[in-house]
Amino acid sequence: MESDENKSKDFKNIRGGDHSHIKGWGIDADSKNDPTYPIKKRTDEEHEGYEWERPTQQKVDVEILKSIERPNITAVFGTSVPPSGLSGAIRRKAFEKGEGSYGRWLPLILADRIGVYEGIIDDLKKGIMPNTFAERGWGAEWKYNRKNFLIKTAVGALVVAGSVAILISSNREKSYSK
C-alpha cells in the first residue's frame, strides 16, 4: 500500500525567480486588488505553507487508478465502482497519460459512455429491466421541454426505423441472390 510521506514543509510556497514573462503572474500579490479582500480575514498564513493533518490512509481493497503526476494515492477515495470490463480497460489506458492531455480525458469520456451500456447489460443479466424513461430524465423533459422532447423522439424513431429498413432490405437482397 502506498502512503503520502509528504510533510507540510514540502508544500512551501517558494516564489523565487523572475516570472514577469508569464501573463498574469503576481496578479494576486496586492491584497487591495483581491476580490475577496474586504471579506477574507487575511493572515498571510497561506504564503507560509499548508499546515494540515493528513487523514488516515483508507484501506486499499479494490483497484484504484491514480494520476501519473501523483506519486501516491490520495488518503480517501471512492470504491463503489472499481474499473472493470471494456470501460475499465479504457480507463486504465487513459490513466497512463498526463492530466493535461486529450489522450487522458477523451478516453475517460468514452469509458463513461461505454460504462452506461455495460450497466444496462449487467441489469438485464440480473433480470432487472432498466427504467430508461426515469433514468434519462425524460419525465422532466416531457414536463418542461415538451416540444424538443417530441422532436428528439421523432428523430430517434426515424433513425431506428431507417436502420431497421436498411437491415431488412440488405437481408432480402442476400436471400434473393442465393
Residue 133 near residue 139, CB atoms below 8 Å: yes
If one counts every other C-beta atom within 10 angstroms of the C-beta of residue 90, the result is 20
Helix pair 102-125, 85-94: axis angle to 10 deg: 170
pLDDT-derived band of residue 86, with 50, 70 and 90 as boundaries?
very high
- pLDDT value of position 81: 84
Pick the residue with more confidence: 151 or 7? 151
Q: Is the pLDDT assigned to residue 153 strictly greater than 90?
A: yes
Residue percentage of the chain with pLDDT more than 70: 72
Most confident of 40-44, 132-136, 155-159: 155-159
Pick the residue with more confidence: 32 or 14? 32
Residue percentage of the chain with pLDDT more than 90: 40
